[in-house]
Amino acid sequence: MITFFSGLLYLTMIALVGVLAFGIYNLYKTGGEARSRSNKLMRLRVVLQATAIAILGAIAYFQSQSG
């Protein structure tokens, strides 16, 4: 189970880095559409960060239960 959550954590972190990189790239664009996209990317980044923290909590829980 810990292996599954570790893999899921790595996937979440890769997605997080991708969203962050795309958000930084999007900062160089101007206009209303770019502003709206930046806001959506910020929300997605926050959700991914919360997911990563929840997965870390699950890993800690299962490690404490296994010994």
Q: What is the pLDDT of residues 8-60, one digit of tens each?
A: 999 999 999 999 999 999 988 888 888 889 899 999 999 999 999 999 999 99
Task: State the pTM of this model.
Answer: 0.86
Residue 67 carries which DSSP code?
Answer: -
CA distances from 23 to 3, 29, 31, 40, 49 (A): 30, 10, 14, 9, 14
